[in-house]
Amino acid sequence: MTFTQTHALRGRGRLGIRLAAVALAGATVVTLAPAAAMAAAPAGTAGASGISGTSGAEARAGGVDAQAELQAFIADGSSTAAFAEVRQNGRRIWRGAAGTSDLTTGQPVRPDGRFRIGSVTKTFVSTVALQLVAEGKLRLDEPVERYLPGVVPNGGAISVRQLLNHTSGLYDYLEDPRFFYRDEASLREYVYGPSRRQDYRPEQLVAIGVAHAPYFAPGQGWKYSNTNYVLAGMLIGKLTGNSWQREVERRIVKPLHLDDTVFPRSETGVRGPHAHAYAKLQEGPADITRLNMTVADAAGNGISTPADLNRFHAALFGGKLLRPAEQAELTRTVPTGSGHSSYGLGVAQADFGCGPLWGHDGGLPGWGTLLFGTADGKRQVALSYNPYEGTDQSGLDAAVVNVAIKTLCGGAAAPAGAVADAAAGLSTLRGASAAGATH
């Protein structure tokens, strides 16, 4: 979930598998196969559809033309599709798409399609938690034990704030060996076996996480852990009597008219137009679009569009969802171990070479997401791409950062080293660890 595999759910700063060589948004390196064994993407992925929702003049006026950056995702076969949208002052100033949404039919990518957002879900969940703080139902510095008695060992020493900013030390359940694959055989099991359709209850996921020793004592470090946000979802349920999904829909989705944003339960498909997700096997691409997202729960179970995510970012950072006191808590950050990033409550602050920007990234097997924008909510970019799992994805971090720089930094060329530095910061934000990471 960026910032996760049931035999594949894990890795790339995402709640998802990371089948190649570097993680983006807080992931650890998980190598599936030597570079020599990684073939190019199947025929059909190299085409582009530079569909723009604005005229060329408007795009130029906004200083945005990121089509070449989208092309970079598919040029080396590491992704099958990519699309993005940029908004400024509530108006779309550019959108584009590259690649193929369905390798069977050759259908081009639609820039308004839906996609799995992975750990960007965390920002929705933290926003609801902060609304509960404003209502006096939740206190950030109260222990988890007060709200979920007996659920977390040492829960009396772990605060709600430490869950939301990843300083609890709790082990990330998605780093448990049952959630990653190690080779093509275990990837094949993920593709064809029952794990992608398995139901999980949040209590099960937490139990897997707390069965492992914590990374550190509460408050004594920073480590991205999806366990934290499964617990946050449970907190919302306990305090409201409703599922976290229902509260996110009631408090955020409906008021903002995010009509293409959903937080499914056990449904495995993606409704509406969308690009498919694929894994590379010896016999060719295998469609891995279907996934039971209960494995991610409140840490990464969301589906949206670029337009909806941008509207959400604009409302959140424009002060429409939180009072000033809770807005300040949202953006009170802790260091992540990278000089280029820090983490607040479900949002990250990152520097792409033009000053601090705010947002989150996300990932799942075959899906990657980036949502970042300015602190005042006036400008944002939402990006979706489909990593071709099983291929060398070591260049994807730089491709993601290049889109952010092009669209959020005025279109100017990045300073020397900015791309590498920002990519390293994103990797940290996903919670890199020696064993492999997630997000």
**Residues labelled catalytic:** 119
Cα 320 to chain centroid distance, Å, stands at 23
The H or E element that residue 333 is part of is none
Running DSSP on this structure, what letter comes out for residue 269? S
Could you give phi then psi for residue 338, rounded to 5 degrees? Answer: -120, 135
**DSSP string across 298-313:** GGT--EE-HHHHHHHH
Running DSSP on this structure, what letter comes out for residue 154? T
Q: Exposed, middle or buried, 136 (CB in 10 Å: 0-12/13-18/19+)?
A: exposed
Q: Which residues pair with 86 in a beta bridge?
A: 94, 381
Residue 33: count of CB within 10 angstroms of its CB: 17
- From residue 325, how far is each of 176, 344, 414 by CA, in Å? 37, 14, 34
Say which residue the tokens 């399609």 belong to.
Answer: 113
- Cα torsion angle, 127, 1, 225, 267, sign: positive
Q: Which residues pair with 372 in a beta bridge?
A: 359, 381
d(CA 401, CA 79): 15
Say which residue the tokens 């593709």 belong to.
Answer: 191
CA dihedral 144, 145, 148, 153 (to 10 degrees): 100
Strands 348-351 and 303-304: unpaired
Residues 6+ apart with CB under 8 A from 105: none
